[in-house]
Chains A and B, each alone.
Chain A
Amino acid sequence: MKYDIVLAGVGGQGILSIAAIIGQAAVSQGLNVKQSEIHGMSQRGGSVVAHLRLGSAAIKSDQIAPGSADMVLAMEPMEALRSLEFLSPAGVLISNTTPVVNIGEYPPLPEVLSALQAHANSHLLDGDQIAKALGSPRAVNMVLLGAMAAFLALPEEILTAAIRELFARKGEAVIASNLKAFAAGRAAVN
C-alpha cells in the first residue's frame, strides 16, 4: 500500500494539524510515514504546502513528485489549483470553496472552481460554511479531514482517536467540536 497526499492552504489554516493527525493514525497502524512541511516565511499568510506519504514499504523521498499524488487536499481553492500539478490523472481532489482573499487581485472565484471541477475526480465543499453552521468556525480543517477520510485506507476510529490525542490538552469541549466537524465533512462527500 502506498498513498501520497499533497496538503495545500494558506499559512494559519491548519494543514499541519491535518498532516499530524493522519500521520499519527498511520503510524499506529504500523505504516511508514514521511511528512514534509514548509516552515518559516511562508507561515505569514503565504501559500503553504505539506507532503504526506504513507506506505507499507519504506518510503524514500520526502517530496511527492509532480503528477504522482493520490490526493490533493486544499483548504483554499486557488491553492488547490496551485497544487494540481502534483496530482496524478487518477488522483482525488478535495477542496474547500471559500477563498482567502489576502492578495490584491484574486482571480474570479467561479473560474477557479470550474477549473477544479474539470478534474475527473474532484470533490468541492464549503468547509467554512459547514464549520460555521456547526458553531465551530475554526474547525474548517477538521471538516476537510472528514471529507478526506472517505478515501483513506485508515479506519475512521483511528483518525478520531488521533483527533482526540491532538486536542487532548484543550479539553473535552474542543475535542467534541472538532469531532463534530470531522463527521460533518465525512457526510458531505457521501
Chain B
Amino acid sequence: MSENLLLGDEALAQGALDAGLSGCYAYPGTPSTEIMEYIQSSPEAAARGVHRNWSSNEKVAMEEALGMSYAGKRAMVCMKHVGLNVAADGFINAAVTGSNGGLLVVAADDPSMHSSQNEQDSRFYAQFALIPCLEPSSQQEAYNMAADAFSWSEQYETPLLLRLTTRLSHSRANICTAPAQAERALREPSNPRRFTLLPAIAKQNYQRLCEKQAVFAELSDKSPYNLYYAGQDCSMGIICTGIASNYVQEAFAGKCPHPILKISQYPLPQEKLARLLAECEKILVVEEGMPFVETQLRGPLGDSRILGRLSGALPRSGELNTRLVQAACGLPLPPLVQPSPLVLNRPPRLCEGCPHISTYEALNQVLRDYPAGRVFGDIGCYTLGALPPFNAISSCVDMGASIAMAKGAADAGLLPAVAVIGDSTFTHSGMTGLLDAVWENSPITIIIVDNYTTAMTGGQASLGYGKIENICLGLGVAQEHLRIFNPLPKLHDANVRVLQEEIAYPGLSVVIARRECLQTIRKK
C-alpha cells in the first residue's frame, strides 16, 4: 500500500504518469486544478520532461493534446465541467478524427456548485460525441482507469472522457500503484487523412464512429468497472454510478439485499442492464449529477418502474450522500440535530488589502452618479464584488462574458456599460470580445484587473503576464484610451479620475488596474 494519501485528482495524475503520459494540458478550474498541479510538482514528470505547462484556455488545451495524440504519444487534457463547453468544438471533432496516441479528456463536474455557475453533467458530452466515458467511484479506480483509458484509446482509435466529481477530486485516500510504463515513441498516424475533416473524409470517419458504438457497448459489458452484485430481494434493483455506489454500499452497511448494478463505464452495459431490468420489479437509479441514466431508462413516457431524481425518490439537483440514499430506499434514518437559528451564512470574501477592493471602491464612487446595474463581471476572485459591501457587479455568466455582454448592452443603448475582467480570464476568452468592441469602437469601458495570476484557483500562471497592454494595443485599442493605475487605497482619488474620464469618453477604453495578488506575494 502506498504511504501517500492522494486526492482523486492526484491519483488520476499519478495513474496517467505511470501509464506513460507524455503531455498534460489544462486550464485551471475547481475541482480539476490539482491534476495538473500534481504533475507540475512531480519529480518523475520533470525528469522525463512530460509537458506540464498551463494552456490559455480549455479549447487550446484540447487541441494541443490532440496534436500530441496525432504524433503518437499519450496525452491528457483536464478541465472543470464548464471548461468542456469551451473545449467542445475540439472535443466533439476529436471523436470524429479519432486518436492515434492515447488521448484522455478529463472533466471534473461540480454537483452542488461549490465553485461553479452550474452543475452540468459531462457524461452527456461523451454520449453526444459518441465516445466511451469513465466515471471512477474511488481514488484507486481513478488511478487504474488512466492506463486502461490510454490503452483503449489506442486500440479503438478513440478519445475517452473521464468524468470526476467534486467529492472524488477533492478527497484523499491511500492507493496502490502499478509499475510505470515507458512513454510511447513518436508514431505518425497510419492514415493521417482521417485528421483532415473535409466533408468527404468526415463522412467516412463518422460512419466508422457510428460502427464503433457496438464495440464500445461490448467494452462496457466486459469492463472491470461495471459490476453486477446479485441480491435476493428483487422487489427493487439498484443502479448506482461513480461515487454514488459508495453511498449505496454505506446505506446498507455493505449488506444490500437488492441486486446492484454499479456502473463506471459508458455507454450503458446492455447485458448487465437487461439482467437487472428482467430480475427486478422496480429500479432505483442513484447517480451523482444529472439524471443521465435515469432519463434513458424512463424513456419519453416516464416508465413508473424507474425511480430516482426524476421520480422524486432523490432530490432533482445537488450532491447525494448516504442519508439521501437511505431515505430513497426506505431505510431507518439516524436522528438529526436541527440546524440552529444562530448559524449565519459566512460567504467567501476578498482578502484584506486585495487590489480588487481598491478597484471596486473607485468604480463605485464613479458610478454613484449613474443608474445602477451597468457593470458586467466575469469569473475570478473579483466575482466576489457582487456581494456586500461592494455590490459592484451585475453579472457573472461565463469566462470572458463581461466584455461581450457590456458591448451587447451598449449596442442596445444601455450606457455607461462597464466590464470587469481579470488578466487570466482576459487571455482565456476576453481578447476576442475586445476585438469586436475595437471593430465597432463600442462606447464601453473595460477594466482589466491584472494581479499577475490566476488567483481564484490558487495562483497559477497567467499567460498574458507582462503583455496585457501590448495585447490591447495590438488588437487596436487607442493608446490614449488605454490607461493603467495601481489599485491602492492611497491612490483612490487619482484612480477615480481615470475611471471618470474613461467612462465619460463615448468610445472604447481599457483601464488596467494592476497590482500583484497578495496571496502570490505571500507564497514567494
Interface residues of A (CB under 8 A from B): 10-11, 20, 23-24, 27-28, 30, 32-47, 51, 59-63, 65-68, 78-79, 81-82, 84-85, 87-89, 102-108, 111-112, 115
Q: Which single member of A33, A38, A60, A82 contacts B343 (CB below 8 Å)?
A: A82
Task: Knowing A10-B346, A81-B340, say if A35 contacts B246 (CB, 8 Å).
Answer: no
Minimum CB–CB distance from B440 to chain A (whole Å) comes to 35
Residue from A39, A62, A115 having most chain B Cβ neighbours under 10 A:
A62
Q: How far is the CA of A53 from the CA of B233 in the complex (A)?
A: 31
Residue from A20, A43, A61, A105 having most chain B Cβ neighbours under 10 A:
A61
A-B complex: 5 closest residue pairs judged by Cβ atoms: A40-B115, A46-B348, A40-B30, A62-B171, A44-B348
Interface residues of B (CB under 8 A from A): 1, 3, 5, 7, 30-31, 33-34, 114-115, 167-168, 170-174, 243, 246-247, 249-250, 254, 319, 321-323, 326, 333-337, 339-340, 342-351, 381, 384, 388, 456-458
Residue from A11, A30, A41, A88 having most chain B Cβ neighbours under 10 A:
A41
Q: Can you give 23 contacting A-B residue pairs, CB < 8 Å?
A: A23-B5, A23-B172, A35-B172, A38-B170, A42-B115, A44-B381, A44-B384, A62-B243, A63-B167, A63-B322, A65-B250, A65-B326, A67-B336, A67-B337, A68-B322, A78-B343, A82-B343, A84-B337, A88-B334, A102-B349, A103-B345, A107-B343, A115-B340
Q: How far is the CA of A73 from the CA of B336 in the complex (A)?
A: 18
Q: How far is the CA of A105 from the CA of B342 in the complex (A)?
A: 10
Residue from B170, B333, B388 having most chain A Cβ neighbours under 10 A:
B170
A62 B246 Cβ-Cβ under 8 A: yes
Minimum CB–CB distance from A107 to chain B (whole Å) comes to 4
A23 contacts which chain B residues (CB < 8 A)? Answer: 5, 172
A45 B247 Cβ-Cβ under 8 A: no
Minimum CB–CB distance from B385 to chain A (whole Å) comes to 12
Q: How far is the CA of A23 from the CA of B3 in the complex (A)?
A: 10
Q: How far is the CA of A111 from the CA of B30 in the complex (A)?
A: 36
Interface of B is mostly: loop
* Closest partner residue, chain B, to A43 (CB atom): B348
A107 contacts which chain B residues (CB < 8 A)? Answer: 342-344
A81 B114 Cβ-Cβ under 8 A: no
Minimum CB–CB distance from A71 to chain B (whole Å) comes to 14
Minimum CB–CB distance from A131 to chain B (whole Å) comes to 20
Minimum CB–CB distance from B373 to chain A (whole Å) comes to 23
Minimum CB–CB distance from B320 to chain A (whole Å) comes to 9
Q: Which single member of A37, A44, A47, A108 contacts B170 (CB below 8 Å)?
A: A37
Q: How far is the CA of A62 from the CA of B319 in the complex (A)?
A: 12
A40 B172 Cβ-Cβ under 8 A: no
Q: Which single member of A34, A65, A84 contacts B173 (CB below 8 Å)?
A: A34
Task: Knowing A65-B250, A66-B321, A102-B346, say if A85 contacts B337 (CB, 8 Å).
Answer: yes
A112 contacts which chain B residues (CB < 8 A)? Answer: 342
Q: How far is the CA of A137 from the CA of B491 in the complex (A)?
A: 33
Q: Which single member of A33, A41, A61, A78 contacts B321 (CB below 8 Å)?
A: A61
Q: How far is the CA of A41 from the CA of B383 in the complex (A)?
A: 10
* Closest partner residue, chain A, to B341 (CB atom): A107
A105 B351 Cβ-Cβ under 8 A: no
Task: Knowing A87-B337, A105-B344, say if A65 contacts B114 (CB, 8 Å).
Answer: no
Q: How far is the CA of A65 from the CA of B246 in the complex (A)?
A: 12
Minimum CB–CB distance from B180 to chain A (whole Å) comes to 22
Q: Which single member of B7, B33, B334, B348 contacts A45 (CB below 8 Å)?
A: B348
* Closest partner residue, chain A, to B338 (CB atom): A85
Task: Knowing A39-B30, A44-B348, A81-B340, say if A65 contacts B321 (CB, 8 Å).
Answer: yes
B348 A27 Cβ-Cβ under 8 A: no
A81 B348 Cβ-Cβ under 8 A: no
Q: How far is the CA of A20 from the CA of B1 in the complex (A)?
A: 18
A27 B350 Cβ-Cβ under 8 A: no
A106 contacts which chain B residues (CB < 8 A)? Answer: 344
